[in-house]
Amino acid sequence: DGGITQSPKYLFRKEGQNVTLSCEQNLNHDAMYWYRQDPGQGLRLIYYSQIVNDFQKGDIAEGYSVSREKKESFPLTVTSAQKNPTAFYLCASSTAGSRTDTQYFGPGTRLTVL
Amino acid sequence: AQSVAQPEDQVNVAEGNPLTVKCTYSVSGNPYLFWYVQYPNRGLQFLLKYITGDNLVKGSYGFEAEFNKSQTSFHLKKPSALVSDSALYFCAVRDLSDGGATNKLIFGTGTLLAVQP
């Protein structure tokens, strides 16, 4: 987990609220990723960013939004449009440009909808 | 379509015995394969990866993985299991459907390894 921090560790959201999950890295990585983890389903890609001010939708982007204003930071907003947001959210980063690069993960944020 | 499968939801092994966690893949072109481990309520930790070359890849914590192109498999192994190895293990393959432009990973559903004392 070293080099990538996520906050908060636990987050509780009421119905209809937007919440933002923080992800910061000090690895000088260009690429950053957000994954959602549900029991028995592995990890699914929400959004990814290869460089600052650019990002692309992953496989399950509906109901989520991101920004990439700084190289170190890639916050994820879970909007009220996300119908089933309770999950474990993982941020990752890697150097960009090579298919051999390793993604390194943060410690995760567990989001629960009340 | 590119995919990876972990056929076992759970693997049970006695401490001191060898362990194997299975992974098979389907990709077009050369595969780039990864193993990660996750302890409860933690992020994923990188164990090892196969890019090219030697079919036996050595990684962290005494783990190794054997790449078998003919069987499209990348099984994780350890000669002697420890109770502390008990965790959730994920196999992943690089998604090359976009020519590798985005370095996306496709993950298996995970295998829970339980090592009994």
- Tell me the CA distances in angstroms from A66 to A12, A62, B76, B81, one per residue in order: 19, 11, 35, 41
Average of per-residue pLDDT across B32-44: 93
Output the pLDDT for position B101.
Answer: 67
CB contact under 8 A, B100 and A107: no
Give B82-113 pLDDT, tens digit per residue. Answer: 999 999 999 999 988 777 667 789 999 999 99
Output the pLDDT for position B41.
Answer: 84
- Hunting for tokens 């350890």 — which residue is that? B78
User: What's the CA dihedral at B34, B31, A42, A103 to 10 degrees?
Assistant: 50
CB contact under 8 A, A45 and B45: no
CB contact under 8 A, A90 and B104: no
User: What's the CA dihedral at A3, A94, A59, A6 to 10 degrees?
Assistant: 10
Output the pLDDT for position A40.
Answer: 80
Output the pLDDT for position A42.
Answer: 85
Chain A residues near residue B34 by CB distance under 8 angstroms: 102-103
Report the residue from A33, A35, A104 with minimal CB separation from B46: A104
Whether the per-residue pLDDT at A109 is higher than 90: the answer is yes
Q: Quick one: closest CA in A to B112, which residue?
A: A40
- Of A96-110, B5-19, B59-73, B83-97, the one with minimum mean pLDDT is A96-110
Whether the per-residue pLDDT at A2 is higher than 60: the answer is no
Give A49-106 pLDDT, tens digit per residue. Answer: 999 999 999 999 999 999 999 999 999 999 988 889 999 999 999 987 677 889 999 9
Number of A–B residue contacts, CB under 8 Å: 66
Four-residue CA torsion sign, B50, B52, B58, B64:
positive
Output the pLDDT for position B104.
Answer: 84
Report the residue from B90, B100, B110 with minimal CB separation from A99: B100
Measured between alpha carbons, how far is A66 from A77 in angstroms, rounded to an integer? 6
Residues ≥6 apart with Cβ < 8 Å to A5: A22, A23, A24, A25, A106, A107
Output the pLDDT for position B100.
Answer: 66
Give the pLDDT band (50/70/90) at residue A45: very high
Residues A83-113 as b or e (16 or more Cβ within 10 Å = b): eebebbbbbbbbbbeebebbbbbbbbbebeb
- Tell me the CA distances in angstroms from A71 to A11, A56, B51, B113, one per residue in order: 24, 15, 27, 36
State the average pLDDT for chain B. Answer: 93
Output the pLDDT for position A92.
Answer: 96
Output the pLDDT for position A97.
Answer: 66
**Residues of B at the A interface (Cβ-Cβ below 8 Å)?**
9, 32, 34, 36, 41-46, 49, 51, 90, 94, 96, 100, 102-105, 107-110
Chain A residues near residue B33 by CB distance under 8 angstroms: none
